[in-house]
Amino acid sequence: MKFSLSFYSFFMWLSSLMASFAFISCSFSSEAEMMSTKELVDSVSIFAADPTIFEDNGVYYLYGTDGAQPDHGFRVYRSTNLTDWEGSVGVNNGFALVKDDVFGDKGFWAPQVWKEGNTYYMAYTANENIAIAQSASPLGPFTQQQQVPIITEGKQIDPFIYQDEDGRKYLYHVKLQNGNRIFVAELNDDYGSIKAGTLVEILDASLPWENTDNVSWPVAEGPTVIKRDDKYYLFYSANDFRNPYYAVGMAVADQPTGPWIKVGNEALLSVDHTNWPGTGHGDVFRANNQWLYVCHTHNSTTAVGPRRTAIVPFEWETENEDGVKVPVFSGSDIRFLMVEN
């Protein structure tokens, strides 16, 4: 989740504040001391929450919820090796998308970028709704001819578009409905709307690690879907983003619409693996035959934002009792992304 003033924030604020205090003062004092020695130079750190990395012709492009101007649009950063980053390099003063060109005027969160033919697409959240913009370049400008959201009823965030091998397109997203719950719907080919009768809920926060404070508005969000070995894998994050135990889990299915079965009863990536609170909400990609997860963490042990952007490597090293491959994250190898001086 992002810095929202939506209707459920009241329920989350107090419990998240208490959890953060407990985290800082007691439970992980030794980890906090370790992290204090790893403080980064803010002048060159990238602060893009809910990040995604898109590769095009050997160049990697990074987008995310902007740490400084989340109500303006999305910046883009560029790298050829995932280590040396330049930016922001978007055509509009560093931004690839600005609010004057698209639907929405606040709360630009959780973008996803992909390419079809010569056209680049960006799915994103604004005003707690979802829209898709287009551009001739990954640097922007991303625009919309009709500045409207895909779904007009209710509130929904965190889009992820997945196109299956049969050409069908699916919109995974989060509906704000008695909690943050993950849904999927089949998209029409023009990306303008979802197909009637296809919207279905697929996952909510029901395990203990997904709601560590037992709040009345549980959070499951940030879906990313890949297909591997004829199975569909959904990476997601749970707990409120301000909670230091915000973390990553995974579910698996035989079909894009499920049913989705959660893998294990514990988080696969969390502060327990990285020593950085608030590790989560990212995207999966590969580079040089290495699986990677780009995500965000809290700024420090005492401040949530602006959230830092990082990459964590993982491998499919283990298999559970159901024969499902399970990713093993190398949390100690977390690497924060920096802009070149």
- Residues with a catalytic annotation lie at 50, 221
Residue ranges of the alpha helices (H) in the chain? 9-22, 29-36, 271-274
Contact status, residue 332 vs residue 314, Cβ threshold 8 Å = no
What DSSP line would sit under 227-257, residue for residue? Answer: EETTEEEEEEEES-TTSTT-EEEEEEESSTT
Contact status, residue 112 vs residue 124, Cβ threshold 8 Å = yes
Q: How far apart are CA 204 and CA 284, in angstroms?
A: 20
N- to C-terminal Cα separation, the chain: 30
Q: How far apart are CA 64 and CA 26, in angstroms?
A: 32
Max distance between CA atoms of the chain, in angstroms, equals 53
Place of tokens 């049913």: 259
Of 340, 261, 249, 244, nearest in space to 298 by CA:
244
Contact status, residue 152 vs residue 159, Cβ threshold 8 Å = no
Q: How far apart are CA 187 and CA 170, in angstroms?
A: 5
Place of tokens 């327990």: 272
